[in-house]
Amino acid sequence: MKNVLVIGSTGQIGSELTMKLRGIYGNANVVAGYIKGAEPKGELLESGPAEEVDITNAQQIADAVRKHKVDTIYNLAALLSAVAEAKPLLAWKIGIGGLMNTLEVARELKCAVFTPSSIGSFGPNAPKDGTPQDTIQQPRTMYGVTKVSGELLSNYYALKFGVDTRSVRFPGLISYVTPPGGGTTDYAVDIYYSAVKGEKFICPIKQGTFMDMMYMPDALRAAIEIMEANPERLIHRNSFNIASMSFDPEIIYNKIKEYVPGFEMVYDVDPLRQGIADSWPNRLDDTCARMEWDWKPEYDLDAMTRDMLDKLRIKFGKS
């Protein structure tokens, strides 16, 4: 990787990944791609190049790749699961139409491509605990349908055209920087905000609903390490299970209470998000990622909770 384009650089993952990539490959070598209405600001804007790159516009992708001699594209444009259920056509247009544009540009201009998949690529027919790397993927959400189709399309471009496509199946991502929007796992971010602001947390997901989660620093490292991995060791490409922690709302609530003793939580279950969560795995088996490219998470629930609370207290002037 020398010259990188991040499509979706101002989103939940992009805003942090772009800065981390700039730290590794040099500010001038990482282009922040954005869409109108979500322009980069502050450090993201000032530290390196930025281009308008709407993933539904293949020409804009190709222009940015040519102009900046890009060799690696991080394709982070997507609608999260609950939003995709409300806007399925747009989710397909961005998730699959956009991916097809990206893969075609990558084929022509010889770029490697990273496109995140998700725990949402599995459905109710997959084993729930220790969900294997290779198993039934029959998601019942539009988000999942785009993710599993994206995995297949990316593998097709690797096999048929030799495009270096790689990817990981992200769990719910937790960060204090850019809040997610419209995901099923978002409650595990929102709960920290409530704890630090001194508010009661209203949990939209039922007690006993387990999902994989990951602290953002581990997720960013995974996205970079998979693209740097020795291709000769890779048996899989799109997409690797990765995991670091799995919990239900009670477990994260009780963990936060260890550090914020008066913290209160009540349930008001959102049927849409609950239905999505019920169809997803409880805990993925990430053995293949560990064996093929030495994946290893650094944060567990306790380490993440201490860091989230510290950073959010600083953010909200509560330290």
Neighbouring-strand partners of residue 42:
none
Please give the structure tokens belonging to residue 268.
Answer: 């008001």
Per-residue string for binding with ligand SER, 300-319, x by CB under 6 A? --------------------
Rounded CA separation 116/98 (Å): 13
The burial of 233, by beta-carbon neighbours within 10 Å (0-12 exposed, 13-18 middle, 19 or more buried), is given as exposed
Q: Which stretch binds ligand SER (CB under 6 A): 17-25, 131-139, 180-188, 256-264?
A: 180-188
Q: Which stretch binds ligand SER (CB under 6 A): 51-59, 95-103, 112-120, 187-195?
A: 112-120
Smaller CB distance to ligand SER: residue 183 or 281? 183
Contacts (CB under 6 A) with ligand SER, residues 29-48: none
Torsion angle (degrees, nearest 10) of CA 248, 254, 258, 263? 110
Q: What is the three-class DSSP state of 306?
A: helix
Q: Given the residues 143, 176, 187, 299, select the one marked as catalytic.
A: 143
Contacts (CB under 6 A) with ligand SER, residues 114-153: 118-120, 143
Could you say which of 81, 131, 238, 282 contacts ligand SER (CB under 6 A)? Answer: 81
The burial of 313, by beta-carbon neighbours within 10 Å (0-12 exposed, 13-18 middle, 19 or more buried), is given as middle
Smaller CB distance to ligand SER: residue 100 or 272? 272
Could you say which of 49, 172, 281, 297 contacts ligand SER (CB under 6 A)? Answer: 172
Smaller CB distance to ligand SER: residue 131 or 184? 184
Could you say which of 6, 44, 77, 80 contacts ligand SER (CB under 6 A)? Answer: 80
- Which residue, judged by CB position, is nearest to ligand SER in the bound state? 183
- Listed in sequence order, the DSSP H helices in the chain are 14-25, 42-46, 58-67, 81-86, 88-92, 98-109, 142-161, 187-197, 216-228, 249-259, 271-279, 287-293, 301-315
CB of 241 to ligand SER, least distance (A): 13
Q: How many helices (H) and strands (E) does the chain have?
A: 13, 16
The reply to whether 72 sits near ligand SER by the rule CB under 6 A is no
Q: Which stretch binds ligand SER (CB under 6 A): 37-45, 177-185, 234-242, 306-314?
A: 177-185
The reply to whether 170 sits near ligand SER by the rule CB under 6 A is yes
Whether 150 contacts 114, CB under 8 Å? no
Query: Would you mind telling me the total number of residues written for the chain in this entry?
Result: 319
156 catalytic per annotation: no
Catalytic residues: 143
Give the residues lining the site for ligand SER (CB under 6 A): 80-81, 118-120, 143, 170, 172, 183-185
